[in-house]
Amino acid sequence: MPDGVEVKQNGRILEVKLNKPKVNAIDIPMSQALGAAFAELRDNPDLWVGILTAEGEKIFSAGWDLKALNSGEVELDNWWETADYGDGGFAGLTENWNLNKPVIAALNGLVIGGGFELAMGCDLLIAAEHVEFGLPEMPLGMVPDAGALQRLPRRIPHNIAMEMFLLGRRMSADEAAHYGLVNKVVPKEKLLDQAREWAESIAWSAPLAMQSVKEVQRAIECVPLEDAFKKMRTENLPVYRKMLKSDDAAEGVAAFVEKREPNFKGE
């Protein structure tokens, strides 16, 4: 595990764990390893859902490894444009536009900087009770442009997002749940069990239907309602089109009529 990423397959679930002492800071090799892990989730038909978590209870991830940046690992001139983060952008998720399988984040410590941006690249967020979120880039003369600037004001009130950007204020897990930024807050000892419970539930659903949700949502985001319907009906959305004609769709209807559990195969 020299790249700081542990990957484990559990049936239809792929678990990806950050494990790089002391703060799970993400350098280029680690970002590339995360990209490879989520590419495996995307491309392996036997995998239907992913879980992202981290080792330890104090820090989920401190984000970009500034020590590695300062060491000369990356050319400082335009490093944000020239760095090879790997598949899916920084940390494998922040700009992953073709991962249609859902990813659950199990957040078990401070979620700050690029770690926060990585978490926002997930579809469902579960946080332990002691978790806090923060964006400390401003005192470094930088901005959180790996997803926070783009995603955070769309998920919480704009003025609260600006407080986090400009004043560096932290947000507790409970406050994040209040704003809908996280889906659920649980005791730390129940965090991974809750993530696995949700993943198991997803893993027994129709995979093409689940993947269609992400594909369609991505296509219609920020589009006026009438245009959203038109895009869904007319745009090239291959997973959605495949789902409409799938054996799984027929199986779901048949199972409902016959009052039995469906047997979905992703076909």
* Whether residue 235 lies in the annotated active site: no
Q: Which of 137, 163, 175, 200 is catalytic?
A: 137
Sign of the CA dihedral 176, 182, 188, 190?
Answer: positive
* Whether residue 163 lies in the annotated active site: no
Measured distance CA(18)–CA(35) in Å, rounded:
12
Residue 13's SS3 state is: strand
In this structure, the number of other CB atoms found within 10 A of the CB of residue 233 comes to 9
174 phi-psi bin (left φ>0, alpha ψ -120 to 50, beta other): alpha
Q: Which of 15, 117, 132, 215 is catalytic?
A: 117
DSSP conformation letters of 103-162: EEEEE-SEEETHHHHHHHTSSEEEEETT-EEE---GGGT---TTTHHHHHHHHS-HHHHH
Measured distance CA(89)–CA(146) in Å, rounded:
8
**Residue of 200, 252, 193, 184 whose CA lies nearest to 49:** 200
Give the residue numbers annotated as catalytic, written as ranges: 117, 137
